[in-house]
Amino acid sequence: MAYETYEKIEGVIQSVNRGDSCCSMMLSLISNSNIVNVVVSGDTTIIDNIRLRAGLRVAVFYDANLPTPAVYPPQFRAEIITSLRRGQQAMLAYFDENLVSDDNSLQLNIGPMTNIVTLNGQPYTCTPENSELLVYYTNTTFSIPAMTTPQKIIVMCQY
């Protein structure tokens, strides 16, 4: 699956409501002082199977190529949702052989404490270069590209 058309919304869940069916729900997020609604379906990947609840800080990735209703507040269909700790950032991107993101905004330095796993949580036994990665990090340098030693990397394996 190609993730280059995915965009990210970060925010805090304000409410969780039933969606159009028993297998979907609607999240209301506060993101940059704005309300954003997110549809969560049975196909949405929830990293680590977290329980979505009010007060949880999350990053939601959605496919920007899919049509979205012209409503206010904006409404997006979530493809991937992950929780974020205080000060933590998440980035979903392709990283090249030097572990530089495709937009040249972030370079990864793999450290001994970096947890590298597959989407289903199993250890990833190869090197993560030239792959789509979901990267969790806190501190970065002010260089271009910014450098970080991520806490966790999820390799989005192509099947």
Asked if 58 and 82 count as a contact pair (C-beta separation under 8 A), the reply is yes
What is the DSSP annotation of 58-112?
EEEEEETTS-----SS-EEEEEEEEE--TT-EEEEEEE-TTSBBTTSSEEE---T
Instruction: Please provide residue 65's backbone torsions phi and psi, each rounded to the nearest 5 degrees.
Output: -85, -15
* Residue (of 77, 82, 107) closest to 93 by Cα position: 107
Check pLDDT > 80 for residue 13: yes
If one compares 153 and 66, the residue with the highest pLDDT of the two is 153
Q: Tell me, what's the pLDDT at 61? A: 97
Q: What is the pLDDT of residues 120-134, one digit of tens each?
A: 999 999 999 999 999
Tell me which H or E stretch contains 27: strand 25-31
If one compares 47 and 69, the residue with the highest pLDDT of the two is 47
Q: Tell me, what's the pLDDT at 69? A: 79
Asked if 73 and 146 count as a contact pair (C-beta separation under 8 A), the reply is no
What share of the chain in percent tops pLDDT 70? 99
Residue 60 banded pLDDT, cuts 50, 70, 90: very high
Residue 72 banded pLDDT, cuts 50, 70, 90: confident
CA distance 129 to 85: 25
